[in-house]
Amino acid sequence: MITPEQYVGGYATFKDWNDERKANAEKLLKAIQPLEDELIAAGVPFPINPGTGTQVSGSGNGGFRPQKCPVGAARSSHKEGLAVDRYDPKGKIDNYLLAHPELLEKYGIYIEHPLCTGGWSHWSIKPPGSGHHIFYP
């Protein structure tokens, strides 16, 4: 489970972390929890990232990112509070979701294709332009 504090990380005092993005993040975290619960029940591990001490991937930019962050495009899902990168060093989360795409549809979650996410699993509640639940960025 990812908390709002873990999601925002070191960016909690940035002006970009405004009420709209906080509300988006609350929706995101609420939406991903049932999918995480179902995967855990199926035996899929959600390891802790030693770099963040949480399930958020990376070294500080796997959750919310301010607009000035050089990682990601302007107005990206991360910069709007609508996406999180889950720590997935062995690809077990992504591989399970690739084999069970119906779960993504069931919970309204969109992931970047595992071929594009080595070591993390990108989860978003914002549909990509294609509308596909598994997409190439």
Domain count, the chain: 1
Domain boundaries, position 120: 4-135
Helix or strand (DSSP H, E) at 33: helix 19-41
Global pTM value: 0.95
- Residue range 54-76, pLDDT digits in tens: 999 999 999 999 999 999 888 79
Q: Is residue 21's pLDDT more than 90?
A: yes
Are 2 and 20 a contacting pair, CB within 8 Å? no
The predicted pLDDT at position 75 comes to: 78
- Domain holding 123: CATH number? 3.30.1380
pLDDT at position 74: 80
pLDDT for the residue 121: 98
Strands in 110-112's sheet, in edge-to-edge order, are 83-87, 120-124, 110-112, 134-135
What is the distance between the alpha carbons of residues 76 and 93, in angstroms, rounded to a whole number?
A: 22
Q: Can you give the pLDDT at residue 73?
A: 84
pLDDT digits (tens, 9 = 90+) for 75-118: 799 999 999 999 999 999 999 999 999 999 999 999 999 999 99
- pLDDT value, residue 19: 98
